[in-house]
Structure 1
Amino acid sequence: MSTALLPFEEDTQLETIPHNLDAEQAFLGSLLYDNEVFHRVADWLKPEHFYDPVHARIYDTATDLIGKGSLADAVVLKTHFDRDDGLREIGGATYLAILIESAADSAASPEYARIIYELALRRELIRVGNELVNSASTDQERKSRELIQTIEQQLYNLAEEGSAQRGFVGFKQALAEAIETAAAAYERDGGLSGISSGLKSLDEKLGGLHPSDLIILAGRPSMGKTALATNIAFDVAKNYEFEIQPDGTKKTTNGGVVGFYSLEMSAEQLATRLIADYTGIPGYMIRQGTIDATQYEEIRDAVLEIQSLPLYIDDTGGLPISALAARARRLKRTHGLDLIVVDYLQLVTSSKGGEGRVQEISDVTQNLKALAKELNVPVIALSQLSRQVEQREDKKPQLSDLRESGSIEQDADVVMFVYREAYYKEREKPREDTPEYLAWEEEFRRIEKLAEVIIGKQRHGAIGTAKVAFDGARTKFSDIDTRFEDSAH
């Protein structure tokens, strides 16, 4: 196959690349004349959207000054650009005066800003298109599906941020983002910087579920890890609140939109659990149909109340990590997305499956972490524990109990374990006609509804244990009633 560039790429001359210097001048002139213009476009117009590098520097400097509460006019900017070679080449202070003369009316300035933004997107689209043409023509090593995934990711970033490549971020911008996080924690009830899990004891340990974090939730089979993940997802969706931004987009102010990948359990089974959680009617009774008329009415009312919750379930079995990421991007683009839950990690497949199980899991966890950062949402991925925990006298799980633990522990920001002592105690049940039975029964009843969420790793905080209550009939975790906790001790 020929590796020559396609004709349209060779002919893409600088003068034909979409840009409008008149619009850039008119907007900047308006901005220097009236700094209030900035507040109408600051959320979406960035320096990198300007075609002319000098215009980008002027806008960046004005942004910095206005952000500090200072005036940004031609006189003030002149002192900042006295030694700027780029500005001196096009006229120096005289050019700033020309911008003022070219100023658009303040009311029309946002329209010029939109022209600048639109043309910047078109330039990025051309760049992404050229990259796709080059890669498809010359890169014989990469599979077509990998190319599609790469380009789709760039197009998603372009749709969300207005730039397909983030690149280096200035320390000033990083500080601004850190302050935004701190401000959100300060303003939110309970001081959470992340999304509430719905469990106060867990939120106190984690500070909520943080954007861009990969959270591993692990446990032995039947320990309740799916139940806990479902409880968290349901609570987040149930508390979803948003406000409309000036550009018409939605900004989540509480709770969030949840994408739940249920790779083991069907969507119908998951929905039954949620109904049991909401109504308090045991799930086994709903499945077996052993409910009375009153309970049926409760279930019907519950369905009407929760059917519009922003909880989206994908129950495709054996889902490849590339497809999982693509569907998450699509969900965020179409409905919004604030939390991803994957149940469970070992059921996600990877293109590196032929290189061994450890390598495949490593690839999955690396991609889940990358997805959390790309979409800026927390990702909760459930994981199995190895059987070695069963051989120890102390059955509380440790990081080394994670299956294929090296990569999981390395890539995760948080590793949590679900542990219920009653799970093991129940298996020690003696015969009812023995003297040991009464002592066993008393001890079992004391711990039957107690559970622990053990935080084995936390990149941003301390490790520790959150004690919670567990209702097996409803498969529901909740905060412990202090009166119940006191009586349990």
Structure 2
Amino acid sequence: MNDAARKLAPLAKDQAEQHYREAPNNLEAEQALLGAILVNNDAFYRVSDFLKPVHLYEPLHRRIFEIAGEIIRMGKTANPVTVKTFLKADEKVGDLTVAQYLARLAAEAVSIINAEDYGRAIYDLALRRSLITIGEDMVNIAYDAPLDMPPQSQIEDAERRLFELAETGRYDGGFQSFNDAVALAIDMAGQAFERDGHLSGISTGIHSLDGKMGGLQRSDLIILAGRPGMGKTSLATNIAYNIAAAYEPEVQPDGSFKARNGGVVGFYSLEMSSEQLATRIISEQTEVSSSKIRRGDISEADFEKLVACSQMMQKVPLYIDQTGGISIAQLAARARRLKRQRGLDVLVVDYIQLMTGSKKSGENRVQEITEITTGLKALGKELNVPIIALSQLSRAVESREDKRPQLSDLRESGSIEQDADVVLFVFREEYYVKNMEPRDEFDPKYEEWKMQMEKVKGTADVIIAKQRHGPTGTVKLAFQSEFTRFSDLADPSFTQYEH
């Protein structure tokens, strides 16, 4: 070893010792909590709703906490004697056997009053360890990034993991016990009973549609499809505004807000600008035609209506993103950010065919749409919100005698039908009948056309072609084209019929 190397060796050793840092943990807090649980099982219920075995740092402590929890949940008593039978007898903790260690934990137990504070301290340290893991992964990937992983996708991946950690306190997914799933289902039924209209989902504001669907169900992918001119965007805008306008927040014990009615809505408008969308909503609310608003062809009374409506609308939690050609990864990252910053209860995407996939080489459009719909379904489950995604239909509809859309009209778009929990078609017969008007009003067919036009004027059908949790069928709605507004029909006698 030369002189320079000899001089550097102790320095390197000192730096190595300085750089070694133990992951944040507090074994004394873990021991105190376990002792409290072993002495008084009520201590377990003070922490069990937020603390899981994985949050404890010491593997033996994890096993003790897990075993004690299982014993207590079965209605039995967890103490050093009952817990030790489930642990290896020959396992040692320093000089102590497991049985002696359990007895020591119980003997030095703190009071049950402090149990929750210790639980919170352990939980917070577990979150810090998770943050360190995510941070280390970010640094390592950034140093040795594979060629097919651009920085943008690394940011999106890190954002996803941080969001999951912020939402649930863990970032590894995993199985959920059936007991927990049953409890969630019962909670949902209880919330439906208390909510306006007794709906299990979020009300669309259109009662006849809610009656058929039970509202918009969390984590569902709802495809809203139709040919151009049928009013897809209008119906989506109506529903989005109804939900946002009905928003009633409820403060949770942890200080966060949850929607008691209505909800916070994120609207991705890939086709229209945000002011065009706002004009539509103002027109729908004030009953002043949107073409008149754009031309400025309005009276003073109409203008006062517009001003009053805009003041009311400023309080509505409806957020619009008008980025055209957005990718599924960008959309997901922005939705996570909105949920974290403002809350999020419903997401609307207008429309699927204007989105882009990851554009892997040689990928065709059908595969790209498949990637988008699969991504939307996964995002709905991750954020636990319903996603309404609008979709174009194939031209095959126009060449048929019966212009009513069918599921097969979606098929050219890959997995849209397969991934969707609900498929809704918007169909306005008035649109087609209007185009069939005879040129000569003295034509014998003119009267027949006029009668048919009277029958379908101002109505629209929303066809529920697929619904995982309920019946299919058709809901008849009123449609006022000048205000682009869908609403319940005044005469409920022919509101809906089932297939």
Q: Structure 1 residue 436 and structure 2 residue 445: aligned? A: yes
Contact 2:64 2:83 in 1 (8 A): no
The residue that corresponds to 2:470 in the other structure is 461
Task: Give how far 1:137 is off.
Answer: 4.2
Q: In the aligned structure 2, how far is the partner of 1:406 from the partner of 1:64?
A: 46
Counterpart among 56, 62, 76 of residue 62 in structure 2: 56
Q: In the aligned structure 1, how far is the partner of 2:365 from the partner of 2:324?
A: 18
The residue that corresponds to 2:27 in the other structure is 21
Other structure's SS at 1:383 match:
strand
Change (3 A) 1:410 1:86: farther
Change (3 A) 1:18 1:483: closer
Residue 426 of structure 1 aligns with an amino acid whose one-letter code is K
Counterpart among 73, 76, 79 of residue 74 in structure 1: 79
Change (3 A) 1:130 1:279: same
Change (3 A) 1:445 1:31: farther
Q: In the aligned structure 1, how far is the partner of 2:482 from the partner of 2:77?
A: 64
The residue that corresponds to 1:3 in the other structure is none
Task: Give how far 1:280 is off.
Answer: 2.2
Q: Structure 1 residue 379 and structure 2 residue 387: aligned? A: yes
Q: Structure 1 residue 278 and structure 2 residue 264: aligned? A: no
Q: Tell me which stretches of 4 or more aligned residues in structure 1 moved more than 6 Å.
A: 10-15, 65-68
Identity of aligned residues (%): 52
Q: Which range moved further: 226-235 or 464-473? A: 464-473
Contact 2:35 2:108 in 1 (8 A): yes
Contact 1:399 1:405 in 2 (8 A): no
Other structure's SS at 1:197 match:
coil
Instruction: Give the TM-score of the pair, scaled to structure 2.
Output: 0.87
Contact 2:199 2:214 in 1 (8 A): yes
Task: Give how far 1:184 is off.
Answer: 2.7
Q: Which range moved further: 238-247 or 134-143? A: 134-143
* Matching of residues 386-425 of structure 1 within 5 Å: 386-402=394-410, 404-425=412-433
Q: In the aligned structure 2, how far is the partner of 1:62 from the partner of 1:182?
A: 31
Q: Which runs of 5+ in 1 are unaligned?
A: 1-6
Change (3 A) 1:182 1:48: farther
Other structure's SS at 1:252 match:
strand
The residue that corresponds to 2:9 in the other structure is none
Contact 2:25 2:57 in 1 (8 A): yes
Q: In the aligned structure 1, how far is the partner of 2:122 from the partner of 2:448?
A: 77
Contact 2:68 2:83 in 1 (8 A): no
Counterpart among 86, 89, 92 of residue 83 in structure 1: 86
Counterpart among 213, 224, 233 of residue 217 in structure 1: 224
Residue 301 of structure 1 aligns with an amino acid whose one-letter code is A
Contact 2:67 2:86 in 1 (8 A): no
Residue 256 of structure 1 aligns with an amino acid whose one-letter code is G
Change (3 A) 1:424 1:247: same
Task: Give how far 1:72 is off.
Answer: 5.5
Change (3 A) 1:369 1:257: same
Q: Which range moved further: 114-123 or 257-266? A: 114-123
Q: In the aligned structure 2, how far is the partner of 1:200 from the partner of 1:412?
A: 22
* Matching of residues 89-108 of structure 1 within 5 Å: 91-92=97-98, 94-108=100-114
Q: Which range moved further: 88-97 or 395-404? A: 88-97
Counterpart among 251, 256, 272 of residue 265 in structure 1: 272
Q: In the aligned structure 1, how far is the partner of 2:18 from the partner of 2:216?
A: 46
Q: Which runs of 5+ in 2 are unaligned?
A: 1-12
* Matching of residues 84-483 of structure 1 within 5 Å: 84-85=87-88, 91-92=97-98, 94-138=100-144, 140-144=146-150, 145-352=152-359, 354=361, 355-402=363-410, 404-431=412-439, 432-482=441-491
Q: In the aligned structure 2, how far is the partner of 1:385 from the partner of 1:14?
A: 60
Residue 113 of structure 1 aligns with an amino acid whose one-letter code is G
Contact 1:450 1:467 in 2 (8 A): yes
Residue 447 of structure 1 aligns with an amino acid whose one-letter code is V
Q: In the aligned structure 2, how far is the partner of 1:22 from the partner of 1:30?
A: 12
Task: Give how far 1:227 is off.
Answer: 0.7
Change (3 A) 1:309 1:100: farther
Q: In the aligned structure 2, how far is the partner of 1:99 from the partner of 1:463?
A: 60
Contact 2:192 2:201 in 1 (8 A): yes
Task: Give how far 1:34 is off.
Answer: 5.3
- State the superposition RMSD in angstroms: 2.8
Q: In the aligned structure 2, how far is the partner of 1:236 from the partner of 1:178?
A: 23
Q: Which range moved further: 89-98 or 449-458? A: 89-98
Contact 1:384 1:403 in 2 (8 A): no
Task: Give how far 1:41 is off.
Answer: 4.5
Task: Give how far 1:282 is off.
Answer: 2.2
Q: Which range moved further: 404-413 or 422-431? A: 404-413
Q: Which range moved further: 264-273 or 29-38? A: 29-38
Task: Give how far 1:239 is off.
Answer: 1.3
Instruction: Give the TM-score of the pair, scaled to structure 1.
Output: 0.89
Structure 1 residues 177-229: Cα deviation after superposition (integer angstroms, max 9, x where no partner): 33333333343344422111112222222222111111111000010110111
Other structure's SS at 2:267 match:
strand
Q: Which range moved further: 83-92 or 171-180? A: 83-92
Task: Give how far 1:251 is off.
Answer: 2.0
Q: In the aligned structure 2, how far is the partner of 1:245 from the partner of 1:88?
A: 44
Task: Give how far 1:63 is off.
Answer: 5.1
Task: Give how far 1:168 is off.
Answer: 2.4
Q: In the aligned structure 2, how far is the partner of 1:106 from the partner of 1:257?
A: 40
Q: In the aligned structure 1, how far is the partner of 2:454 from the partner of 2:29?
A: 74
Residue 459 of structure 1 aligns with an amino acid whose one-letter code is R
Q: In the aligned structure 2, how far is the partner of 1:221 from the partner of 1:243?
A: 39
Q: In the aligned structure 2, how far is the partner of 1:470 from the partner of 1:282?
A: 14
Residue 336 of structure 1 aligns with an amino acid whose one-letter code is G
Q: In the aligned structure 2, how far is the partner of 1:159 from the partner of 1:134?
A: 22
Task: Give how far 1:276 is off.
Answer: 1.7
Q: Which range moved further: 441-450 or 82-91? A: 82-91
Task: Give how far 1:324 is off.
Answer: 0.8
Residue 399 of structure 1 aligns with an amino acid whose one-letter code is L
Structure 1 residues 295-341: Cα deviation after superposition (integer angstroms, max 9, x where no partner): 21111111111211111000111112111111000000001111110
Residue 367 of structure 2 aligns with an amino acid whose one-letter code is Q
Structure 1 residues 64-83: Cα deviation after superposition (integer angstroms, max 9, x where no partner): 67667x475537xx436523
Other structure's SS at 1:16 match:
coil
Residue 480 of structure 1 aligns with an amino acid whose one-letter code is L
Q: Which range moved further: 366-375 or 440-449? A: 440-449
